[in-house]
Amino acid sequence: MKRSRVLAVLVGGVFCVAVMSLYCMLELMQGAELQQGGARPAAQVDEELSRLQQKIDRLERLLSDNNRLVATLRDTLFNHKASWETGGGGGNMSSGSTHSQADTLPGCRLAGETKDGSDGVQLSDVYDLLPFDNPPGGAWKQGFEIHYHGNEWDEQPLELFLVPHSHNDPGWLKTFDRYYDDQTRHILDNMLVKLSEDSRRKMIWAEVSYFSKWWNELDDQKRERVKRLVRAGQLELVTGGWVMADEANSHYFALLDQLIEGHQWIHRHLGVRPRCGWAVDPFGHSPSMAYLLKGAGLSNMVIQRVHYAVKKHFARQQTLEFLWRQGWDSSPRNDIMCHMMPFYSYDVPHTCGPNPSVCCQFDFHRLPGGRVFCPWRIPPQPITEQNIQERALLLLDQYRQKSRLFRSPVLLVPLGDDFRFVESSEWDAQFYNYQKLFDYFEQHPELHVKARFGTLSDYFHALERRLSAAGTTLPTLRGDFFTYADRDDHYWSGYFTSRPFYKRLDRTLEASLRASEILFSLTLAAMRSFRGDGRPVAGFPTREHFGRLTAGRRSLALFQHHDAVTGTARDPVVVDYGNRLFHSILDLRHVLQSSAHWLLLLDKSRYHHDQSKPFLQMDEVISAPDVLPQKTPLTLSKEPRSLIVFNPTEQQRTSVISVLVDSADARVVDAETGRPMAAQMSAVWAEPSSASTEVFQLDFVAELPPLSLVVYHVTRALTGSAHRARYTFHRHGNPPTVQSQHFQVSRPVGPEADTPVSLSNKHVQIWSSPETGLLQKLRLRSGLVRQVQVQFLWYGTRTGANRDKSGAYLFLPGEEGAQLYSSSEPPLVRVSRGLVFSDITSYFRHFTHTVRLLHLDGHAGRTLEISNTVDIRSEFNRELVMRLVSDVANGNSFFTDLNGFQMQQRRTLEKLPLQANFFPMSSSSFLQDAASRLTLLSAQSQAVAALRPGELELVLDRRLQQDDNRGLGQGVTDNKLTDNLYHLLLEDRRGDAQEVGRASVEHLSLLAHLTSLSLCHPPLTMFAPVDNQLPKIHPFRPLRSSLPCDVHLLNLRTLEDDHEAGSPSQEVALILHRKGFDCSSAPEPVPVCTWSMHEEVNLDQLFSPLQFRSVRPSGLTMLRDDDHQESAQQHPPTHMVRLQPMEISAYRVTLD
């Protein structure tokens, strides 16, 4: 729209609202006059009062709309003013004005504000600096000789905390339940006994999944003893997550959700909150996790698995302890103190000091005669009168050496390993022997060491005290710790892709959970206001559904464990995880279906819940945990069949909804308005060139308001009345025989068969190879043309009997690198052209590849949808890769997301081996140069690399026959038929990247954010049974308009009742994420949502007409201690909150 027209419309709108408000006020005043007219019966007064109340409510709503309109107008004016000042075209999106327009996009200030990166350490600079030459370091193989004089502690004695821990994987070699029965329950039982025996003993515990399971088996007396140990500071719950989460493949929704689940449990049952993070086994570390921990109220954290060369560098610089800052953050607001463990592992040989053969002698679980021993062949000795002096000094030497790597004389020494402290004898061996050593130190003040058992809090308190007393400051650090290498060239980039089927299933559950949470919360709120007494509706299975939600949260949470979503567990354990994910998806569908049922009913009294016969069914069926979903064909007749589509996003969107029907002609109308929807019939291909004669695919364009349930009617239409897709088949040199009686098919021959296949819509034109169907080139409406070639390649692994090979964790490709995928015969290529979408599908032996364009005017038409169905089950030690080869001049720099929360710059470094240049990608990656940006958005996590300029490659699946010596004891050969899905977005851009301490801080564009949202949270389609006795239903539209484009409703999560366990409370966790977005291009086409430069937001307006009875800003895990009072100076309170770019904000709210 032209500037003048936008303004005219807005001013007109404000005028209308103002007139209506005045009219309302007049009406109210008349009402008030009537009130004064003499005495009337009480009932009449009540009625009038209630009418008056209704009018006031209406007036309030009008005023609030008015305010919102004024705010929008103000923003628009600001934009226009700014663009006029810079000479830009304002709302006119002509290409010449793109630059100045982009500069003035409100909300774009963020990247410009992040300037002070020069003060701290930037991890990418460290990577530039290090030679990665791996020289032998002596006893500390990957480090260096550490020297000291002995008098360093004369003034400031060494203060040492020995922290007992047991690393309990919630599934790895055994399932969660097996580990619990065989080991974990005994560890915790013994913990209760052994800590109670001596108040000097301590222990930390991280995995709430296990702790809560154990708690359920305890009697009240034992629970009381646990609480006493916690209160006394002998037992500390660290991190407090449901699991010790993977930080590479996990999405931030799930990372936060498992933290909420754990923290809520701890607070409810133990009355405390975690203060310290403990992540000793995840294979690399992400600043997104640091952000979430800080937001959850933690002050400190410990990490362990960091590249050995980085550890060594940090040790030399004494920067193993630092303040971890977000790359985009210019303030210390989100800084968290982080301790990086210096050595190879978290086991005892690698925690007391640099020499593992010495430290192992102080793991008293390895005393001779036991099941475990020291591989360095010097066994531990029990501490006796005779040997104590020699033993104490030997150990102290290690402590002192380790201490030299830190800036303070406080020392953290973990004492533990995987599944330790199972037997009571192990507790005795460790605690008795160490206590003797500590007593010896105590009796010898000339040694200047004070040693004791401690928790992480004990350590960090002492550290903070000593640092502030000495005036020592810690450096700030920006960046992440991927890709991890533990030794030599063993980079852990394989697990970024291992078991991709389950990585995809993880995200399906995540989307199901979020959708169910939101719809359930909205349903309870609607029920309360329907009944008027704040109680749920009788007959609605509120408690059962809340139980299903809780179980769903816990399944997703469990799968974030660093051996689950990583794909690094044994086969039977993978099956166990798969079952949990699968059953949770099914359970959550019940919640979704019956919530939708109630919300849709016109006459709520006709609600009836029957578990065995749900009113609504999902159109997509997942029949088993290890197969792809399939759609149920609908039987059509002349009677309308109701189809219900739920839009789980906070944005108005235009989506293509796809269903299977039993007729080649069908018609779809909006049930409310009767308006016919644009639709297309396509063939369902039983074989690549043989169409089904019984089942057909109906695709229609749905306009879906935010968070709405929209009802469509589908009917069988007259033969030949529906628009049908047309097909063209190519197979080089061998045109196929095609069976398709309902569709028009052509098989080009001669020169026509050799011309590139081209598809186009209003925004984009693409060209693909007629031989392979694979994309070659892309052109935007602006005229920008880019080469983007899709290729497929294989990686093999190293050959030779004694050579390390790729496995579940490691990627160790053969020296020849990737080999272009070739097939003995040319693939069948099928091109479909229609009104709603057009696509090109290529059938290769190991994968089916489709690229699709939607014929939509809005931004959904801007991206190419790319999907692959992969099957490499016939292969031996091979990994399949999809590569995009473009002419984008990005040099060696590209960007990948971290947990879907933020973007991280990557540099492909030649000094590192190939496998080191692969990074995790949870949802997006892009390449850019001065003129354009090519963004690939994904619906699943996998490994990504940009090995040469212009290239981006993704590892789709890996099949590896052998173990890679990290304890798993098997390869990965349980491959499945696996889907992966992407959207490719090419955008014009102007302007340079923002440099922060020589690293670029970049964000996705607004269009990329919106595309990613649609991709990760697709619409959910349900249908009602064929029955003309069905009660009437009508659409549900909870929001008047979309949320601002950059505000994401991360969750609307019903909290558990404080007094009634297992029941929902009236309180809901409202979690919003305001995204930072890129300013180098204006979104084209302009999205329907608005965005604002203001940080102050009125929640009532944002979610209108939903009403908030109360809003309390809280910490990210909704602990009551974090709650702030709501700003209630005004009556009624206005729910103004501050949403800052990149920040996640959480509120405890009650909805009406």
Residues taking part in catalysis: 281
In the complex, least distance from residue 562 CB atom to Zn ion, rounded to whole angstroms: 5
| Both structure tokens of 374 | 């020291």
Span interacting with Zn ion, options 275-283, 508-516, 888-896, 940-948, rule CB under 5 A: 275-283
Span interacting with Zn ion, options 274-282, 454-462, 519-527, 573-581, rule CB under 5 A: 274-282
Nearer to Zn ion by Cβ, of 173 and 451: the residue is 173
Nearer to Zn ion by Cβ, of 146 and 557: the residue is 557
In the complex, least distance from residue 558 CB atom to Zn ion, rounded to whole angstroms: 13
Alpha-carbon distance 172 to 167, whole Å?
12
Touching Zn ion, residues 278-297 (CB under 5 A): 281
Q: Which residue of the chain is nearest Zn ion when measured via CB? A: 281
Nearer to Zn ion by Cβ, of 281 and 329: the residue is 281
In the complex, least distance from residue 842 CB atom to Zn ion, rounded to whole angstroms: 41
In the complex, least distance from residue 561 CB atom to Zn ion, rounded to whole angstroms: 8
In the complex, least distance from residue 167 CB atom to Zn ion, rounded to whole angstroms: 6
Task: Compute the half-sphere exposure of residue 466: CA atoms within 13 Å on the CB side of its CA.
Answer: 18
Q: Which residues contact 690 (CB under 8 A, 6 or more apart)?
A: 738, 739, 740
Nearer to Zn ion by Cβ, of 247 and 281: the residue is 281
Which residue spans within 647-774 are E strands per DSSP? 653-661, 666-670, 679-687, 690-704, 709-716, 726-730, 745-746, 757-760, 764-768
Nearer to Zn ion by Cβ, of 169 and 347: the residue is 169
| Both structure tokens of 195 | 């800590």
Nearest Cα to Cα of residue 280 among 428, 396, 160, 412: 412
Nearer to Zn ion by Cβ, of 281 and 771: the residue is 281
Nearer to Zn ion by Cβ, of 166 and 319: the residue is 166
Nearer to Zn ion by Cβ, of 343 and 419: the residue is 419
Alpha-carbon distance 712 to 1022, whole Å?
10
Q: Do residues 806 and 812 touch, judged by C-beta distance below 8 A? A: yes
Q: Which residues contact 1027 (CB under 8 A, 6 or more apart)?
A: none
In the complex, least distance from residue 282 CB atom to Zn ion, rounded to whole angstroms: 8
In the complex, least distance from residue 169 CB atom to Zn ion, rounded to whole angstroms: 4
Nearer to Zn ion by Cβ, of 486 and 650: the residue is 486
Query: What DSSP designation does 1131 have?
Result: S
Touching Zn ion, residues 355-384 (CB under 5 A): none
Alpha-carbon distance 122 to 132, whole Å?
17
Q: Which residues contact 413 (CB under 8 A, 6 or more apart)?
A: 160, 161, 162, 163, 351, 352, 399, 402
Alpha-carbon distance 969 to 50, whole Å?
72
In the complex, least distance from residue 417 CB atom to Zn ion, rounded to whole angstroms: 11
Alpha-carbon distance 677 to 679, whole Å?
6
Size of the site for Zn ion (CB under 5 A): 2
Touching Zn ion, residues 164-203 (CB under 5 A): 169
Radius of gyration over alpha carbons of the chain, in Å?
A: 31
| Both structure tokens of 208 | 């709430």
Alpha-carbon distance 1061 to 751, whole Å?
72
Give the orientation angle of helix 220-231 with respect to helix 252-270, to 10 degrees.
Answer: 110
- For 78-131, give the DSSP string: HHHHHHHHTT--TT---GGGHHHHHHT-TTTHHHHH---GGGSEEHHHHHHH--
Query: What DSSP designation does 134 have?
Result: -
Nearer to Zn ion by Cβ, of 127 and 419: the residue is 419
Touching Zn ion, residues 947-966 (CB under 5 A): none
Q: Convert 360-391 to b/e letters by CB count within 10 Å (16 or more is b).
A: bbbbbbbbeeeeebbeeeeebbebeeeebeeb
- For 553-590, give the DSSP string: HHHHHHHTBTTTTTS-S-HHHHHHHHHHHHHHHHHHHH
Q: Do residues 439 and 450 touch, judged by C-beta distance below 8 A? A: no
In the complex, least distance from residue 573 CB atom to Zn ion, rounded to whole angstroms: 12
**247 touches Zn ion by CB under 5 A:** no
Give the orientation angle of helix 3-35 with respect to helix 42-85, to 10 degrees.
Answer: 160
In the complex, least distance from residue 566 CB atom to Zn ion, rounded to whole angstroms: 10
Site string for Zn ion, 132-171 (x = CB under 5 A): -------------------------------------x--
Nearer to Zn ion by Cβ, of 420 and 976: the residue is 420
Alpha-carbon distance 456 to 304, whole Å?
14
Assign 3-class secondary structure to 150-200. Answer: CCCCCCCCEEEEEEEEEECCCCCCCCHHHHHHHHHHHHHHHHHHHHHHCCC
Beta bridge partners of 416: 165
In the complex, least distance from residue 344 CB atom to Zn ion, rounded to whole angstroms: 15
Q: Which positions touch Zn ion (CB under 5 A)?
A: 169, 281
